[in-house]
């Protein structure tokens, strides 16, 4: 049931790439077809291979066989492939009918033309080195626009006009720091934009990228990949401390740590020479795997599962490959054998963690002051013990078993009490010192032997394998004779000879800004993933990221953000809806629903409630009672008071079996495993959150407080509310609609003053001197109207 | 120049969704989306952009809806369904070495003692099926159900076994059965969620919300947990002081402003979202209505043993097991709710009842004392559900499934004490044999399928794997289990997994 669209897209992508008369591209047009239609029986997986024929291997596909070679270059008629495709004999026809795979006429003719053109061979497109666009397209943002324009030309499309300055100001702020600007900042931007648009955008983008809010915003995406959570997962789902790692990610992003270093420190910080405390914290990335505390489990089984999760996550985050498929059998479509999987597994198989109750190894992080305090407390314990011992020594019978009476003596009882109290103080102090789970290699004599696990079953060991990176075609290999450890793996992932990592990351960033990646299947760059809509643009972005910016994420974001492509208006005219409905050709700006985190943060921000506090332990903003009912886990959710009610969403305590409900409603996952992209949905449960969740109601009341502080009539207040929320200038009919909403509510509350009081109480509204409750409640309803607008939950 | 249709590659043609950026078939006007109050199932033409719109089955369907009763923790097949006089004779004898060799147990250590059932068994109904004395009401409907005495799994810990059963994989990240069905068939009632989850026993299942999660499917297909205490759906109620008139007026303002925006920008997604707000508004009425069992006549409440408005004190307890009462009506209330929900067109109703993990290691988890209490909580209700569905003509098209995630050992669990003490008789997890039953939805009534050896340890006839069970459920709903798939990570992912081990158990079908 697979859509044929990627291949059709490719036909046009290729004509863009090389001109319409260009020869067929094996990597982008033929191989995907062979992969989808033929590889399951004639591909990399030897156990399911039919007729010893493989189309992932040129020698096999073109080699001599009984009945003639499958492919004879320049001679379709002599090629068995062509004959078997067009035969009407149901026994001979390929693919066989029972496979439910068929080729349409256009696909068949593509194969024929390719054979006629001498059937040139190559690798899967994503394994090929980065393509170079020709010199004429320029550099930086100009190159992006030139390549997008080529796509437009091929489809009779054009750039949309530039977005309105204030709309752009909101878009840039939401995209780069996850929060909207104030209307005043947007006005200033608009004024500068009118004078010199390019300079205004560049200056504004730099300002946003320098904000500490930037790291908080982009951490969200990385924390989904890192499956960051505050609990261990599985049945008991007990708490663990990982927030130090979350703060490490925020800081690394704010410092614009180059992605190669970002990679190496997280995967192998502990293996660097003289690792710093920060580099050790970074390794918590791979300790975000779950720990199963259920009674009666085989701990080794869950240790192995955690190691597999690390392998799978590495494949997903850096390579965009579903490496995990090779756990049980060789990958059917990508060149990853069953053995390759366990060679990669072997790299991760030497870490000391073992699904232990205490989640060790951990790193406790005390400040110098805390160290000093601990020394004092330890001394106090020793002193109390000495005092006790002295008392006991004074009594010659005391240490004997039968010395019942002296142990009961008032002095000894008091001394024991004092000793216990000192110990309690020390324990309490220790419990208050944050610690984080880290990676640590086993000592050489304790290293594990890694076997292939037959059918993925750890109780069924096969051959012994040595650690090695994946032997992807054209990629650098593990250096012979060298021990391949996590550090070697991390360096290989960001090696200049690996084109996948920069492609995958650049595509991921693009998708966050445009809604869809150039490769739509962000999680799969393998043979069955979708093909890039703009192969040259993808590779150009990868170059901007890796080469031009030396792995600077801020550089990549800045380059995209100043491009004409990004600065277009979100225009949905008939022409574009017909010819570019999904915006694959980028003929307008992406219009995106805000993420769960953006929506909460934006709402609190425009209402003036948002706390600016960065980092620290996770917090528990209000959620409905009775949601936490984990088995054998007595931890409770206690609604935060004060500032912690209003922290940014990424600081919300993330319990894997019961994530925060409004996050789940807006498509956040559970963080049990790596999540590459959130599929956005549109549901009535989302409407119920923004209508009725007390968090959103409280924000409406706070926003009402802001507009009531505004002097002037109802229209002025309505306008202020609209502008605070939507940032752009507003139309008179919009003001009229909000005034009408206010008046209707005010009329209703005037008749039912108790209702007004009840609503204000539910909204935790602050009393405003001189404002009647009916009026305040009515403005709360009017502001709730604005918070529930499609435009408010979207980014135009 | 022909332009390719806007199909996202990760989705199959048949299941084109109203995702952001995806064009809608028609641009319905806002007026047409509001004020709909027709709650008749299968009546309304689906909105073209609605990912939950009812979809036709792939193959002829025998069932249109499912009620799945999961006893989380896993009841003992040996004390409810499997009459094993030979095992009773062996009680107290050491377990033969041959049964222990190469086996992994959750808690059993060394050589445990064999343990016969302390309960008496007798045959029931035309079909003459053996049942223990703990299920007297269920015995009266035994001729309506097919008992599968030969279910086998390959997981022996709760969370992985529950995940395997409900998502097809023992790991996290895969869609649950209910969300697959919701995705494949859509909802029959636009005013209610298509997949509803109800829980009892004071705790959620061991594997948490993932057993009704949507995995890699869009989250719109995940189960909606309807709570019987507090608001049935989170944030369903308007805040205090917000009258229905005011809410309607407030929504009219929202929609008026959305219309202005749509006139300016023209994004079809604006209309989709506007429609979701209208659905939310209708749900505010329809959900409390369907969740209100106090509307049921007394004879129906009595049939189930339901008590409207009951709040189980055990819900607030850290460990409720030692405090279970046999007359706690929470599960009965949920069974009655399940009937009301399917009657209103909900596609898939999933009940979880926690507290069936009878190890005998600590108070409140024994075969001899706790199991009878748990059976008392469900026995009348389960029988009533079958009877009620049948009386209403709903059973034919409603597939009812009952079971735990694995069976329990014929040996006594011995890690805490290895002698029999009252209130501490327990059995360990046992993946090699288990009993489940199904009814309605094209399942052969009065059937006993499969058998175990004379001590209930191994299956001797007709093994039914978890994959077989999943394939059979999908098949009954008109979803070809081998072809029903969703493209993710480059593969056509299926509930029954990547291999073709699963089969439709045709012996079960009428």
Domains of chain B: residue spans and CATH: 65-230+292-508 (3.40.720.10)
Tell me how far apart the alpha carbons of residues A60 and A57 are, in angstroms, rounded to a whole number.
5
- Smallest Cβ–Cβ distance between A624 and the set B13, B218, B230 belongs to B230
Chain B residues with beta carbon closer than 8 angstroms to that of A530: 9-10
Which residue ranges in chain A fall short of pLDDT 70? Answer: 1-22, 135, 395-406, 479-480, 629-634
Name the 3-class secondary structure at B197.
strand
Report the gap between the CA of A213 and the closest CA in chain B (Å): 26
Report the gap between the CA of B474 and the closest CA in chain A (Å): 18
Task: Sketch the domain layout of chain A as residue ranges.
Answer: 5-122, 135-218+499-590, 297-356+454-484, 366-433, 692-795
* In B220-340, beta strands by DSSP E: 224-225
Backbone angles phi, psi at B487, to 5 degrees: -80, 120
B439, containing H or E segment: strand B434-439
Report the gap between the CA of B343 and the closest CA in chain A (Å): 21
- Smallest Cβ–Cβ distance between B260 and the set A590, A691, A731 belongs to A731
Name the 3-class secondary structure at B219.
helix
Q: Residue A2 and residue B491: Cβ atoms within 8 Å?
A: no
DSSP assignment string, A419-447: HHHHHHHHHHHHHTS-EEE---BPPGGGP
Q: Residue A156 and residue B1: Cβ atoms within 8 Å?
A: yes
**Hey, of A37, A106, A233, A681, which one would you mutate to test binding to chain B, going by the most B CBs within 10 A of its CB?**
A681
- Smallest Cβ–Cβ distance between B253 and the set A3, A521, A785 belongs to A785
Q: Residue A3 and residue B9: Cβ atoms within 8 Å?
A: yes
The pLDDT of B315-339, averaged and rounded, is 89
Asked whether the beta carbons of B92 and B113 are under 8 A apart, the reply is yes
A85 contacts: CB under 8 Å, gap ≥ 6: A93, A94, A103, A108, A111
Does residue B340 register a pLDDT over 90? yes
Asked whether the beta carbons of B18 and B270 are under 8 A apart, the reply is no
- Per DSSP, B126 falls in state T
A412 contacts: CB under 8 Å, gap ≥ 6: A388, A391, A392, A395, A398, A406
Nearest residue in chain A measured CA to CA from B319: A632
Does residue B160 register a pLDDT over 80? yes
B145, containing H or E segment: strand B145-152
Asked whether the beta carbons of A132 and A143 are under 8 A apart, the reply is no
Chain A residues with beta carbon closer than 8 angstroms to that of B428: 296
Predicted confidence at residue B42, as pLDDT, reads 37
B341-364: string of b/e by CB count within 10 Å (b at 16+)?
bbbbbbbbbbbbbbbbbbbbbeeb
Name the 3-class secondary structure at A143.
helix
**Hey, of B171, B202, B208, which one would you mutate to test binding to chain A, going by the most A CBs within 10 A of its CB?**
B208
Does residue B455 register a pLDDT over 50? yes
In chain B the first and final C-alpha atoms are separated, in Å, by 54
Nearest residue in chain A measured CA to CA from B413: A296
Q: Residue A657 and residue B258: Cβ atoms within 8 Å?
A: no
Q: Residue B234 and residue A688: Cβ atoms within 8 Å?
A: yes
Asked whether the beta carbons of B396 and B440 are under 8 A apart, the reply is yes
Predicted confidence at residue B147, as pLDDT, reads 97
- Smallest Cβ–Cβ distance between A322 and the set B13, B20, B490 belongs to B490
Confidence of residue B490 (pLDDT cuts 50, 70, 90): low
Strand partners, B438: B146, B401
Q: Residue B239 and residue A760: Cβ atoms within 8 Å?
A: no
* Tokens of residue B35, six digits: 């004020």
- Displacement of CA B229 from its chain's centroid (Å): 19
A–B interface: beta-carbon pairs under 8 A: 320
Asked whether the beta carbons of B162 and B405 are under 8 A apart, the reply is yes
- For this complex, say whether ipTM is above 0.90: no
Tell me how far apart the alpha carbons of residues B337 and B334 are, in angstroms, rounded to a whole number.
5
Nearest residue in chain A measured CA to CA from B199: A629
Does residue B33 register a pLDDT over 60? no
- Smallest Cβ–Cβ distance between B485 and the set A1, A526, A632 belongs to A1
DSSP assignment string, A689-703: HHHH-HHHHHHHHHH
Q: Residue A529 and residue B490: Cβ atoms within 8 Å?
A: yes
Predicted confidence at residue B238, as pLDDT, reads 96
Tell me how far apart the alpha carbons of residues B107 and B86 are, in angstroms, rounded to a whole number.
24
B98 contacts: CB under 8 Å, gap ≥ 6: none
Confidence of residue B11 (pLDDT cuts 50, 70, 90): very low
**Hey, of A688, A700, A731, which one would you mutate to test binding to chain B, going by the most B CBs within 10 A of its CB?**
A688
Chain A residues with beta carbon closer than 8 angstroms to that of B106: 295-297
Predicted confidence at residue A413, as pLDDT, reads 87
Q: Residue A631 and residue B270: Cβ atoms within 8 Å?
A: no
Does residue B91 register a pLDDT over 80? yes
Chain B residues with beta carbon closer than 8 angstroms to that of A456: none
Q: Residue B239 and residue A685: Cβ atoms within 8 Å?
A: no
Question: Comparing A47-56, B253-262, B293-302, B473-482, which segment has the lowest mean pLDDT?
Answer: A47-56
Q: Residue B241 and residue A624: Cβ atoms within 8 Å?
A: no
Tell me how far apart the alpha carbons of residues A453 and A342 are, in angstroms, rounded to a whole number.
8
Confidence of residue B343 (pLDDT cuts 50, 70, 90): very high
Does residue B20 register a pLDDT over 80? no
Chain A residues with beta carbon closer than 8 angstroms to that of B171: 305, 673
Nearest residue in chain B measured CA to CA from A754: B241
Q: Residue A748 and residue B246: Cβ atoms within 8 Å?
A: yes
The tokens 């205090």 sit on which residue? B240
Q: Residue A657 and residue B204: Cβ atoms within 8 Å?
A: yes
Tell me how far apart the alpha carbons of residues A434 and A620 are, in angstroms, rounded to a whole number.
18
**Hey, of A321, A756, A790, A795, which one would you mutate to test binding to chain B, going by the most B CBs within 10 A of its CB?**
A790
- The pTM (predicted TM-score) of the whole model is 0.81
A289 contacts: CB under 8 Å, gap ≥ 6: A227, A305, A306, A309, A310
Report the gap between the CA of B206 and the closest CA in chain A (Å): 4
Report the gap between the CA of B80 and the closest CA in chain A (Å): 24
Chain B residues with beta carbon closer than 8 angstroms to that of A733: 260
Tell me how far apart the alpha carbons of residues A193 and A174 are, in angstroms, rounded to a whole number.
18
Q: Residue B238 and residue A581: Cβ atoms within 8 Å?
A: no
A504, containing H or E segment: helix A500-514
Q: Residue B172 and residue A527: Cβ atoms within 8 Å?
A: no
Nearest to B345 by CA among B306, B284, B287: B287
Backbone angles phi, psi at B259, to 5 degrees: -65, -40
- Per DSSP, A162 falls in state B
**Hey, of A300, A629, A686, A718, which one would you mutate to test binding to chain B, going by the most B CBs within 10 A of its CB?**
A629
- Smallest Cβ–Cβ distance between B219 and the set A667, A777, A790 belongs to A667
Q: What is the pLDDT of residues A70-120, one digit of tens each?
A: 999 999 999 999 989 888 888 888 888 887 788 888 889 899 999 999 999
A662-687: string of b/e by CB count within 10 Å (b at 16+)?
bbbbbbbbbbbbbbbbbbbbbbbbbb
Q: Residue A790 and residue B273: Cβ atoms within 8 Å?
A: yes
Chain B residues with beta carbon closer than 8 angstroms to that of A749: 241
Nearest residue in chain B measured CA to CA from A784: B250
* In B372-422, beta strands by DSSP E: 398-403, 407-412
Asked whether the beta carbons of B153 and B406 are under 8 A apart, the reply is yes
Report the gap between the CA of B446 and the closest CA in chain A (Å): 36
pLDDT > 70 in chain B, percent: 89
Where does residue A694 rank: exposed (0-12), middle (13-18), buried (19+ CB within 10 A)?
Answer: middle
- Per DSSP, A26 falls in state I
Q: Residue B5 and residue A5: Cβ atoms within 8 Å?
A: yes
* Tokens of residue A707, six digits: 């507009």
Predicted confidence at residue B5, as pLDDT, reads 33
């Amino acid at each position: 049931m697979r859509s044929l669209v990627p291949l059709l897209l490719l036909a046009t992508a290729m004509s863009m790439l090389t001109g319409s008369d260009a020869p067929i591209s094996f990597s982008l047009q033929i191989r995907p077809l062979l992969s989808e239609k033929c590889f399951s029986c004639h591909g990399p997986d030897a156990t399911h291979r039919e007729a010893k024929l493989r189309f992932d291997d040129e020698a096999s596909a073109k080699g001599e066989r009984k009945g003639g070679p499958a492919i004879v270059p320049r001679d379709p008629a002599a090629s068995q492939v062509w004959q078997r495709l067009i035969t009407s004999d149901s026994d001979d026809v390929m693919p066989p009918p029972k496979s439910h795979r068929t080729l349409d006429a256009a696909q068949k003719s593509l194969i024929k033309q390719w054979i006629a053109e001498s059937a040139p061979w190559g690798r899967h497109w994503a394994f090929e080195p980065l393509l170079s666009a020709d010199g004429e397209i320029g550099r930086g943002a100009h190159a992006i626009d030139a390549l997008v324009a080529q796509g437009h030309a091929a489809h009779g499309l054009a750039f949309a006009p530039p977005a309105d300055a204030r709309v752009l100001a909101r878009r840039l702020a939401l995209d780069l720091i996850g929060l909207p600007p104030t209307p005043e900042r947007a006005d200033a931007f608009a004024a500068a934009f009118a004078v010199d648009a390019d300079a205004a955008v560049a200056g504004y983008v730099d300002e946003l990228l320098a904000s500490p809010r930037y790291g908080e915003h982009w951490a969200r995406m990385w924390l989904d990949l890192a499956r960051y959570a505050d609990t261990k997962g599985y049945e008991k789902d007990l708490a663990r401390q990982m927030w130090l790692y979350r703060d490490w990610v925020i800081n690394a992003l704010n410092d614009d740590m180059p992605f190669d270093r970002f990679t190496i420190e997280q995967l192998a910080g502990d293996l660097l020479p003289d690792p710093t405390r920060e580099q050790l914290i970074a390794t918590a990335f791979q300790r975000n795997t779950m720990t199963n505390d259920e009674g009666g489990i085989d701990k080794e089984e869950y240790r192995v599962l955690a190691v597999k999760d690390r392998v799978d996550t590495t494949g997903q985050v850096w390579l965009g490959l579903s490496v995990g498929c090779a756990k049980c059998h060789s990958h059917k479509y990508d060149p990853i054998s069953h053995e390759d999987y366990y060679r990669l597994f072997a790299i991760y198989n030497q870490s000391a963690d073992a699904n232990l109750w205490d989640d060790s190894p951990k790193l406790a992080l005390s400040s110098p002051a805390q160290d000093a305090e601990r020394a004092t407390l330890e001394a106090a314990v020793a002193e109390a013990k000495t005092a006790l011992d002295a008392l006991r020594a004074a009594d010659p019978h005391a240490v004997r078993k039968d010395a019942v009476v002296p142990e009961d003596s008032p002095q000894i009882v008091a001394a024991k009490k004092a000793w216990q109290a000192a110990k309690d103080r020390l324990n309490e102090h220790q419990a208050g010192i944050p610690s984080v789970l880290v990676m640590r290699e086993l000592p050489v004599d304790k290293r594990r032997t890694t076997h292939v696990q037959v059918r993925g079953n750890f109780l069924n060991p096969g051959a012994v394998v040595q650690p090695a990176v994946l032997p992807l075609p054209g990629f650098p290999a593990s250096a012979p004779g060298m021990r391949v450890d996590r550090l070697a793996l991390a360096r290989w992932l960001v090696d200049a000879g690996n084109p996948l990592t920069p492609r995958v990351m650049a595509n991921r960033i693009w998708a966050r800004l445009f809604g869809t990646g150039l490769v739509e299947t962000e999680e799969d760059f393998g043979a069955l993933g979708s093909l890039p809509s703009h192969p040259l643009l993808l590779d150009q972005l990868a170059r901007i990221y890796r080469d031009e910016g030396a792995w600077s994420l801020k550089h990549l974001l800045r380059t995209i953000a100043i491009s004409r492509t990004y600065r277009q208006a979100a225009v949905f005219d008939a022409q574009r809806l017909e010819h570019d409905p999904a915006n694959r050709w980028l003929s307008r700006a992406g219009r995106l629903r805000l993420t769960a985190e953006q929506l909460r943060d934006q709402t609190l921000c425009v209402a003036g409630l948002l706390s600016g506090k960065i980092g620290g332990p996770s917090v528990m903003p209000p959620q409905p009672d009775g949601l936490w009912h984990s088995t054998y886990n007595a931890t409770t959710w206690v609604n935060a008071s004060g500032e912690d009610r209003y922290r940014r969403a990424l600081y919300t305590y993330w319990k894997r079996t019961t994530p925060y409900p409004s996050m789940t409603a807006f498509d956040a996952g559970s963080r049990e495993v790596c999540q590459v992209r959130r599929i956005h949905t549109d549901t009535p449960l989302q409407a119920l959150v923004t209508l009725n969740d007390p968090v959103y109601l409280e924000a409406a009341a706070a926003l009402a407080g802001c507009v009531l502080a505004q002097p002037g009539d109802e229209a002025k207040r309505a306008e202020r509310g609209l502008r605070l929320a939507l940032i752009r200038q507003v139309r008179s009919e919009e003001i009229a609609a909000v005034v009408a909403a206010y008046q209707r509510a005010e009329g209703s509350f005037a008749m039912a003053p108790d209702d007004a009081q009840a609503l204000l109480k539910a909204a935790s509204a602050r009393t405003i001197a001189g404002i009647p409750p009916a009026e305040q409640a009515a403005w709360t309803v009017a502001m709730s109207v604005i918070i529930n607008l499609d435009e408010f939950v979207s980014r135009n | 120049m022909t332009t390719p249709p806007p199909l996202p590659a990760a989705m199959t043609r048949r299941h084109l969704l109203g995702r952001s950026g995806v064009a809608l078939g028609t641009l319905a006007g806002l007026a047409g989306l509001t004020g709909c109050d027709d709650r008749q199932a299968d009546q309304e033409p689906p909105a073209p952009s609605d990912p939950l719109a009812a979809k036709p089955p792939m193959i002829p369907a025998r069932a249109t809806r499912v009620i799945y009763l999961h006893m989380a923790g896993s009841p003992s097949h040996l004390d409810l369904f499997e009459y094993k006089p030979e095992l009773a004779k062996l009680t107290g004898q050491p377990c033969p070495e041959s049964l222990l060799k190469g086996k992994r147990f959750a808690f059993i250590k060394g050589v445990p003692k064999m343990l016969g059932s302390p309960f008496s068994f007798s045959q029931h109904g035309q079909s003459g099926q053996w049942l223990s004395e703990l299920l007297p009401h269920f015995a009266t409907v035994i001729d309506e159900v097919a008992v599968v005495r030969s279910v086998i799994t390959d997981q022996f810990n709760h969370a992985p076994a529950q995940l395997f059963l409900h998502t097809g994989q023992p790991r996290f990240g895969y869609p649950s059965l209910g969300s697959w069905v919701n995705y494949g068939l859509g909802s029959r009632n636009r005013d209610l969620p298509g997949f509803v989850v109800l829980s009892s026993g004071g705790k959620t299942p061991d594997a948490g919300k993932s057993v009704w999660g949507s995995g890699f499917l869009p989250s719109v297909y995940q189960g909606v947990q309807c709570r019987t205490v507090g608001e049935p759906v989170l944030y369903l109620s308007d805040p205090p002081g917000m009258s229905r008139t005011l809410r309607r007026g407030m929504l009219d303002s929202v929609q008026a402003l959305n219309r202005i925006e749509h006139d300016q920008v023209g994004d079809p997604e604006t209309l989709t979202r506007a429609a979701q707000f209208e659905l939310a508004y209708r749900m505010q009425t329809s959900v409390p209505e369907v969740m209100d069992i106090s509307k049921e006549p007394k004879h129906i409440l009595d049939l189930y043993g339901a008590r409207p408005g009951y709040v189980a004190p055990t819900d607030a307890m850290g460990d409720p097991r030692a405090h279970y009462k046999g007359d706690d009506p929470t599960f009965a209330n949920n069974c009655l709710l399940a009937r009301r929900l399917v009657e209103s067109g909900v596609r898939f109703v999933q009940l979880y009842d926690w507290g069936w993990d009878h190890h005998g290691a600590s108070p409140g988890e024994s075969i001899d004392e706790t199991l009878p209490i748990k059976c008392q909580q469900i026995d009348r209700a389960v029988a009533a559900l079958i009877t009620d569905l049948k009386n209403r003509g709903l059973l034919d098209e409603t597939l009812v499934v009952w079971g735990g995630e694995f069976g329990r050992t014929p040996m006594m669990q011995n890690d805490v004490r290895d002698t029999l003490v009252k209130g501490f008789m327990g059995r360990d997890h046992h993946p090699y044999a288990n009993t489940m039953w199904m009814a309605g939805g094209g399942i052969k009534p009065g059937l006993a399928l499969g058998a175990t050896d004379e001590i209930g340890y191994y299956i001797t006839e007709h093994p039914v794997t978890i994959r077989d069970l999943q394939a059979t459920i999908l098949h009954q709903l008109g979803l070809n289990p081998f072809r029903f798939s969703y493209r993710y990570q480059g593969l056509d992912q299926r509930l029954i997994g990547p291999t073709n081990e699963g089969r439709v158990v045709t012996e079960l079908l009428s």
